[in-house]
Structure 1
Amino acid sequence: MQNSLNNSSSAQGAQFRQLQKQLRDLWSSVDLFDQDDYDILVVPSVSLDQRELRKIKGFLHYEERLLFSLIRLRNPHTRLVYVTSQPLPPIVIDYYLQLLPGIPFSHARDRLLLMTAYDGSLQPLSQKILERPRLMARIRQALRPNRSYMVCYNSTHLERELSVQLGIPLLAADPDLLCWGTKSGSRQIFQMSGITHPDGSELVWNLKDLAEAAADLWERQSQLKRIVIKLNEGFSGEGNAVLDLRQIPQAAPTQASHEQRVTALITQMEHLSFQGSEETWENFAGRIPELGAIAEAFIEGDQKRSPSVQGYITPNGEVKILSTHDQILGGPDGQIYLGCRFPADEAYRLRLQTLGMQVGRILAEKGAIERYGVDFVAVRQPEGSALAWDLQAIEINLRKGGTTHPFMSLKYLTNGRYDLSTGLFYSQQGRQKYYIATDNLQKERYRGLIPNDLMDIITHHRLHFDSSNRTGIVFHLMGALSEFGKLGLTSIGDSLQQAEDLYNQVVHVLDQETDTNACARNLCSYSSTPISWNQG
């Protein structure tokens, strides 16, 4: 039985790689590829373990994060099939199509096909599609043979199986290569590429070995105050926990034996500081035998930032740097991704590009394609140091991430270019462009607002994106607003200050509009959404 499963998996892998060869034959560059005559199947499945999905408020609406792909319909020859777990609000689709520069709304809408599984469960969308043969048949029928490809949020065995069953190539890394995007795999890539990264351990699979690894690390660096315990696979920092060594001074390298230190660390691990508010020690510890874990030195610093660099590997192996960002992090120890600023600080953005290229070349040699990101910790150095900021690489993401949709929205909406010599982005008119983006503008008072309400508010206050000057706000995650009070947005300006001012204006307006006394003061009386009496 096991041999039969292995043979089946091997055959599927061979079919998948054969399909991906089609991309190499068709590809000339990331830009030209988008301008050709193709059908694009967008499967925005957040393919994570159900226990991980429960940690993400409004996870189902994260399928909306790839709606920036609709902007590809600006190419009059492109057709796009977008599949979701639940139907998307029509006003959300209209919102994105209205952003298309120079394309009639009706022309773009005729080339967009929306499909849904009508399933709001925790299962990944890709699995839902695979379990519905008739939906699979409709998708297959909608796509032109040899003129189609599939894109996704993250690539797993589910997306690979979907690609093979549909007979179209997946523009994403082969799931067999995803080990290089894990915590332990990232450390190996950093070592291969000669990039500085925190001291840490190899992958371990039980609590005793994890404590041994943490003890070895503490002995190598006796000055450590904290150690980060990382599950080998995590999402937006949710798989990280912090072990505070200051709570067990009696176990320090100068105060205790190795065995005593290991015993103290095992006990102290029950008091880890978790980044996710709903995480528990019992759940975290139970994942170690399943996912594996590493121990890594926590980087201290009074002035500390979290920059990142994004790259792209074409199917023919060309590596291209796309962008740099300073990430906005939260959580108890500042390890949960909340948003980003573009571009990264000029003090280190060009160095980030160089380091990102080094990583990309190693990944390309391994056979990876499509997007990747590298996260760093930057610590301000004392005056007189050769470098103002020390950069330590901490993680590789072999998938789209929280920085993907804001940058691609900027690129498609401005038809601009990223300049490697400066690390800046210029619109088609030659203006520098900056943005602040988030997936986590969330307040209890926003609950109850539906997408139509948001459209009324941003229209009344003129907060929408202005195509004439290429500045303004682009919203996403609108479906999460009513139930969770959660919204995503990208604030685009001609300076970082302008982008920040626009962002703050949105927050101020939403706060004002959701004041409990707002309607009593007739602040909601301007609604322009037509009411239909034929809704049943």
Structure 2
Amino acid sequence: MSLMERGLIPPAAQLTLEPSPVRQQLLQLHNPQDKTKSPLLADRDSKPGSPTRATSSEMRRYFSNSRLTSAASINQPKTPVSMKTYEIPLQPMPPPTTPASGDLKLSSHRFAIQHGRVRDSHPEFLAFKQHYCLSWGSIVTTIRHLEKLLCIYSVPIAFIHGDKLADLAIEFELERAPSIDDLLTVIVNREDVESIIVKPGRKFLGPDGKVVAATCIQSVWRRYVDRKKYLEYRRLKWAAGVIAISWIMHIKMAKVRKQLHQTRLDELEAFRRRSKKLAKSWDRISYNRRVVIHIPSLGLSQNIRDSIHNFGIRQNTQMGRLCDLHDPNIDVIFVSPVPLSDETYQYYSKLLGLKSAISSGKVEDQQDVTERYKIIVPEAIKSFPTHRMCLSTILKYSPIALQRIKRLIVGREAYIVTGVPHKDDLSVADALEVPILAPEPDIAHLYSTKSGSKRIFASANVALPYGEYDIYSLAQLHECLAQLVTENLDVKRWLFKLDNEFDGRGIAICDVTQYLPCYSWALKESHRYGEKWSKKWAQEAAYLKILGEIPSVLTTYAQPVNTKLYPNWTKYIQAFLSQGGVIEACPPSSSITTLSADLLIEPSGNIKILTIGDQIHAESPFSCWGMSIPQSSIEPTVINDACFNIAEACRTRGIVGYLTVDFVTFIDSKMEQQLWALDISLNYSDTLSIYQLLLYTTNGKLDTENHIFNVTLPLQDNKKIKPKKRSNSEEDDPNTSRYAVMSTRLLHTNLAVVHYSVFFQMCRAHGIGFDIKEKQGTAFTLIDSFSRERLGMITIGDNLQGALAMFARNLSVIHQEISAPNMQGETNFKGAIEDIEGILGTTIQNAQDQLPSDS
């Protein structure tokens, strides 16, 4: 290609060379069959001082041998070139053929690089140089790269394909230097050379091998040192980043905590301010139209909430709060912790519509009261399906529900009645700008603990079980128990109660004296000392001996009541020591009755007894499953005095709102009836909620002085009695006293297969219903709308035996109707029936004992 064709001279340039460097000459063409010399070689031989060239016969002999050698090596595996091969004297290449052969370019322009140097004096190289004289500059650069490569790796000899070298030189003429792979492409014996290059340490055998090795060692060491420093720098930088992010997050979290703490303080201050305002205006509010916002929230600690199965359903056991409508001045907003079905809405609409019919005794007098009550389900229930938050927390994160409640109470007197108080109650009250009829959450939690209730009972001067409270170490537990056993050797069973548990879940029992080896000896010692046994010096020897035996007795024989939560004593004692607890004596009697009283401390300071009843047990003797109202186990004045004393002690501590007090009564060894205060809960109870249903369905009232529940019968019944002539009006007057047996914890898994409509048809078929004229019968509260496994039920009769028998019969009928021999299901009906039968037996025996005394 000319200079213009190669783009080195622009086409528009007009250049002339004088004289012209190109001379035209006739070229003689030879017959390809004739073995003649190449014209270039001939010209070179004719020049004076040119090197001696091998004859044509020698060249033919060499190439004939080389062809035989290459043909024989085709079938042999290729191996690196041996040293003997490198020592073969270089023979001249055969003369090039004419262009007519078509193989001039492929058969020529091959030269050798031996020991890192090109044989630049050999005719093959000179012919190659002559052929590519116009681009020789870039070719020389590429040859230097090849020489350097072969010298570094000490390659004895390499045969170079000149034409490929020229192409490679043009490709890398103005670009980067060619790589080793690029250079290997121009080597004819590439495999031999490559096998030498890839040998480890080969590059250190060259002329400057020691220098290269030293350089390599230095570079590797520097890289190691630098990389080590870099990794350390990167680690320190990462650590600094983590520290910086942690510090930033700490600052932000501290700021958020400070803001939340301030928000809590502001909410508490607003709560106190509204409580004072409520206390001043309570007398006016309690006798006028008002809205009661019922939030049946269980603000228990998170670990307790996590351990309660179906926590939402457990909160919804107080659906009876809707029956606050029995007071014509009250409108109810009920916040439901679970979604409700249409059947549930229809049931409560019909139930609450019976108010006028109950008052008149006529079924046709029903009316719609849906304007007086609203059931609101917070929308955040769907957002937190598994978090087991209390209802107040869920309502706090439900702005739509809060806005709806706010619209319903705008311009009206309203207050909140919560369940177990929680700090989020204050947030809800602050959002709605209404007061709460409850104590401060911290105060409620403090005095709702077992140790806190003991403080209130002690200040109220009421009888307590023998025991100790505020126990937080194992040594203190052993010492206190040993002292209690020593002082009260007649007490056989001792109870251990966790401070923060509720509903009898955190109780363990131990019959200490039965398994105490030194009990007989201690009993003899107490008899020996007689009245002096109460002195510490008389008890010291027995105390030390009992203290040494107590640990092994507890470890071996103490048993938690709720084995699902606390499988063994070890697990129980860990929980006991982590939160504290109390030791209590179990009443030393075979006949024990537990009572519960619901009280109200009004914001104005007035104290009211709302309900007092006897407990019914089903799942555990330490858990209240149901109640019979009114109580018939002790003289009313005795328990009333205890209730007022306890309520007064609570009031002096700033406690307002609803509270429940548990008592136990028994006949001691001196045949005297004792009443012990056991526990206090500063919240709205399940019993009080279903008691509202009793008030609603009977339009009655509890006489708290005599513990008689009286109802007002319809006027038409009195008119029918008037015309009759009677000698003794007292005998002919209708019985207006009623007894009720109630429970919100009916559980039967087979109820899930029966829809409510079918369930009520089944009840009608078996005569389970309510007589609005006689104010007797059965009523239900629907708690679980979708799985339908839980119910609330109340039975009302004109005497206690009739109400108990009706309740037991209803349970038996329902169980038989929904159960099959192969599908009994999980239920607490059987335990309740057994306890009710025991109560019935006791009441019948008591009635028989009273007959001789009356006569």
Q: With the length of structure 1 as denominator, give the TM-score of the two structures.
A: 0.85
Equivalent residue for 2:137? none
| 3-state SS of paired residue (1:308) | strand
Question: In structure 1, what residue type is equivalent to 2:814?
Answer: L
Q: Residues of 2 paired with 1:357 and 1:75: CA distance?
A: 25
Out of 248, 258, 280, which is 1:25 matched to?
Answer: 280
Structure 2 CA distance for partners of 1:187 and 1:467, relative to 1, 3 Å: same
Structure 2 CA distance for partners of 1:442 and 1:85, relative to 1, 3 Å: closer
Question: In structure 2, what residue type is equivalent to 1:408?
Answer: Q
Deviation at 1:7, TM superposition (A): 4.6
Counterpart contact for 1:231–1:294, Cα < 8 Å? yes
Deviation at 1:427, TM superposition (A): 0.9
Could you report, residue by residue, the CA deviation over 1:174-228 in whole angstroms, capped at 9, with x for unpaired residues?
2232222321122112211211111211312233333333233223323432221
Aligned: 1:67 with 2:305:
no
Aligned: 1:318 with 2:602:
no
Residue pairs, 1:282-297, within 5 angstroms: 283-297=571-585
Residue pairs, 1:352-371, within 5 angstroms: 352-371=639-658
Counterpart contact for 1:250–1:256, Cα < 8 Å? no
Question: In structure 1, what residue type is equivalent to 2:313?
Answer: H
Give the aligned length: 511
Aligned: 1:490 with 2:794:
yes
Could you report, residue by residue, the CA deviation over 1:98-131 in whole angstroms, capped at 9, with x for unpaired residues?
2331285534257424223335432211122223
Structure 2 CA distance for partners of 1:107 and 1:288, relative to 1, 3 Å: same
Structure 2 CA distance for partners of 1:20 and 1:193, relative to 1, 3 Å: same
Deviation at 1:229, TM superposition (A): 0.8
Q: Residues of 1 paired with 2:412 and 2:556: CA distance?
A: 54
Counterpart contact for 2:745–2:792, Cα < 8 Å? yes
Question: In structure 2, what residue type is equivalent to 1:315?
Answer: P
Counterpart contact for 2:291–2:409, Cα < 8 Å? yes
Deviation at 1:290, TM superposition (A): 4.5
Out of 679, 684, 698, which is 1:400 matched to?
Answer: 684
Q: State the identity %.
A: 22
Q: Which has the higher strand share?
A: 1
Could you report, residue by residue, the CA deviation over 1:150-193 in whole angstroms, capped at 9, with x for unpaired residues?
11222122323322232211112222322223211221122112
Q: Residues of 2 paired with 1:416 and 1:95: CA distance?
A: 22
Question: In structure 1, what residue type is equivalent to 2:551?
Answer: L
Question: In structure 2, what residue type is equivalent to 1:449?
Answer: V
Structure 2 CA distance for partners of 1:492 and 1:248, relative to 1, 3 Å: same
| 3-state SS of paired residue (2:479) | helix
Structure 2 CA distance for partners of 1:135 and 1:478, relative to 1, 3 Å: closer
Equivalent residue for 1:458? 763
Equivalent residue for 1:422? 706
Task: Select between 47-56 and 221-230 the one with higher mean Cα deviation.
Answer: 47-56
Deviation at 1:269, TM superposition (A): 4.6
Question: In structure 1, what residue type is equivalent to 2:482?
Answer: A
Q: Residues of 1 paired with 2:654 and 2:604: CA distance?
A: 10
Deviation at 1:435, TM superposition (A): 0.8
Task: Select between 188-197 and 117-126 the one with higher mean Cα deviation.
Answer: 117-126
Aligned: 1:162 with 2:425:
no
Residue pairs, 1:81-160, within 5 angstroms: 81-100=333-352, 101-102=355-356, 105-109=367-371, 111-116=373-378, 117-118=381-382, 119-121=384-386, 122-145=388-411, 147-160=413-426
| 3-state SS of paired residue (1:187) | helix
Could you report, residue by residue, the CA deviation over 1:353-386 in whole angstroms, capped at 9, with x for unpaired residues?
1211111111122221122222111112468x4x
Deviation at 1:64, TM superposition (A): 3.0
Could you report, residue by residue, the CA deviation over 1:38-74 in whole angstroms, capped at 9, with x for unpaired residues?
2322211222234434554544223333322222345
Q: Residues of 2 paired with 1:496 and 1:471: CA distance?
A: 12
Counterpart contact for 1:39–1:144, Cα < 8 Å? no
Q: Residues of 2 paired with 1:314 and 1:341: CA distance?
A: 25
Question: In structure 2, what residue type is equivalent to 1:351?
Answer: V
Q: Residues of 2 paired with 1:283 and 1:137: CA distance?
A: 46
Question: In structure 2, what residue type is equivalent to 1:345?
Answer: S
Q: Residues of 1 paired with 2:655 and 2:282: CA distance?
A: 15
Out of 664, 667, 672, which is 1:377 matched to?
Answer: 664
Q: Residues of 2 paired with 1:266 and 1:142: CA distance?
A: 62
Could you report, residue by residue, the CA deviation over 1:257-305 in whole angstroms, capped at 9, with x for unpaired residues?
6497367437725753222241214553343354321112222211111
| 3-state SS of paired residue (1:321) | strand
Q: Which protein shows a greater Rg?
A: 2
Structure 2 CA distance for partners of 1:234 and 1:262, relative to 1, 3 Å: farther
Q: Which has the higher helix share?
A: 2
Out of 501, 511, 529, which is 1:234 matched to?
Answer: 501
Deviation at 1:477, TM superposition (A): 4.7
Structure 2 CA distance for partners of 1:415 and 1:295, relative to 1, 3 Å: same
- Report 1 or 2 for greater relative contact order, CA contacts < 8 Å, sequence distance ≥ 6: 1
Could you report, residue by residue, the CA deviation over 1:463-502 in whole angstroms, capped at 9, with x for unpaired residues?
233322211112125417946x433211111111221232
Structure 2 CA distance for partners of 1:277 and 1:442, relative to 1, 3 Å: farther
Q: Residues of 2 paired with 1:51 and 1:466: CA distance?
A: 45
Q: Residues of 2 paired with 1:259 and 1:137: CA distance?
A: 67
Q: Residues of 2 paired with 1:502 and 1:411: CA distance?
A: 19
| 3-state SS of paired residue (1:44) | strand
| 3-state SS of paired residue (1:217) | helix
Counterpart contact for 1:436–1:499, Cα < 8 Å? yes
Equivalent residue for 2:772? 467
Q: Residues of 2 paired with 1:329 and 1:114: CA distance?
A: 33
Gaps of 5+ in 1: 520-536
| 3-state SS of paired residue (1:222) | coil
Equivalent residue for 2:562? 276
Equivalent residue for 2:461? 194
Task: Select between 485-494 and 353-362 the one with higher mean Cα deviation.
Answer: 485-494
Out of 811, 817, 821, which is 1:513 matched to?
Answer: 817
Question: In structure 2, what residue type is equivalent to 1:349?
Answer: P
Counterpart contact for 1:376–1:395, Cα < 8 Å? yes
Residue pairs, 1:206-225, within 5 angstroms: 206-225=473-492
Deviation at 1:145, TM superposition (A): 5.0
Counterpart contact for 2:415–2:436, Cα < 8 Å? yes
| 3-state SS of paired residue (1:63) | helix
Question: In structure 1, what residue type is equivalent to 2:690?
Answer: P
Structure 2 CA distance for partners of 1:188 and 1:378, relative to 1, 3 Å: same
| 3-state SS of paired residue (2:742) | strand
Q: Residues of 2 paired with 1:399 and 1:423: CA distance?
A: 23
Structure 2 CA distance for partners of 1:139 and 1:278, relative to 1, 3 Å: same
Q: Residues of 2 paired with 1:403 and 1:73: CA distance?
A: 17
Gaps of 5+ in 2: 1-253, 358-365, 523-540, 714-734, 824-855
Q: Residues of 1 paired with 2:772 and 2:692: CA distance?
A: 16
Question: In structure 2, what residue type is equivalent to 1:47?
Answer: G
Out of 774, 784, 806, which is 1:502 matched to?
Answer: 806
Equivalent residue for 1:431? 736
Out of 61, 77, 80, which is 2:332 matched to?
Answer: 80
What is the alpha-carbon root mean square deviation over aligned residues?
3.1
Counterpart contact for 2:486–2:546, Cα < 8 Å? no
